[in-house]
Amino acid sequence: MTEGTVPIGIALAEQHADLVANSFGAVKQRERHEDAAAKHSATLAGENAAARYRKLALCSPLLTDAEFRVLCLIVEKADGTLANSFASVGWLQRNLGGRSARGRRVQHTDANGRRGVRASYKVVANLEAKGFLRRHRRGWQLRLPKNVLAPGAVEWDGPQNWSKRQPRGEYA
C-alpha cells in the first residue's frame, strides 16, 4: 500500500456510516428534533414559559424528585416569563416538604418533616451542576441543559430580562 491511501475496508465503513447518517429517515428525524427545539424555545420566550419549563423538566431523566420540586418552587416564585425568581434557600427549605413524589420517606428531615437547610443547599448545588439553575445576583436564572429541549438541541440559557422596572421614557 502506498502512503496516503486508505484501506478499502475503512473507506467502505466510512461510506456506510455517511449513508446511514444522511438517509432520508435520519434527515427527517433531525428536522423534527430541530422543529421541536424551536417550538419549545419560542414557548419559553412567551407568556406560558413557566408551564413549558415545568413540562420539560418533568420529562427530563436527569432530575430526581427533590430537584424537580425545588425547580417547581423556584418557578412558582418567578413571574410568568420565568424572570425575576428570588427564592431564598431558607424559603425553599420551609416549602420543600418531606415526602417524595413516589411516596417514599425522605431522609435528612427535621421533627416537622421538612428537609434541613444543608440538604436544600445540596439539592440546589446539584441543580447548578446539572445546568438547570444559575445563581444570578440574589435570585436564580432557570436554564435547561443540552438535549432537554430535543435530542441534539443546544442548552437554553434562560430569560435575559431581570428587572420588573419599566424602561424610562425619553426626556424632551
In the chain, domain spans? 10-142
- DSSP 8-state class, residue 27: H
Query: Which of 123, 128, 41 shows the shortest CA–CA distance to 82?
Result: 41
What would the pLDDT profile of 55-102 be if each residue is shown by its tens digit?
888 888 889 888 888 888 888 888 777 777 778 887 887 887 655 444
Q: How far is CA 40 from CA 57, 78, 85, 150, 151, in A?
A: 12, 19, 20, 9, 12
Q: Which three cell numbers stand for residue 58?
A: 418533568
pTM exceeds 0.75 for this model: no
The predicted structure's pLDDT at residue 2:
59
Residue 76's region, left for phi above 0, alpha for psi from -120 to 50, else beta, is alpha
Instruction: Average pLDDT across each block of 10 residues of the chain; the chain has 172 residues. List them in order.
Output: 68 73 77 85 82 86 88 84 78 70 51 63 89 80 84 78 57 50
The predicted structure's pLDDT at residue 130:
92
Query: Which of 80, 55, 48 shows the shortest CA–CA distance to 144?
Result: 55
The predicted structure's pLDDT at residue 129:
92
The predicted structure's pLDDT at residue 102:
47
d(CA 128, CA 124): 6
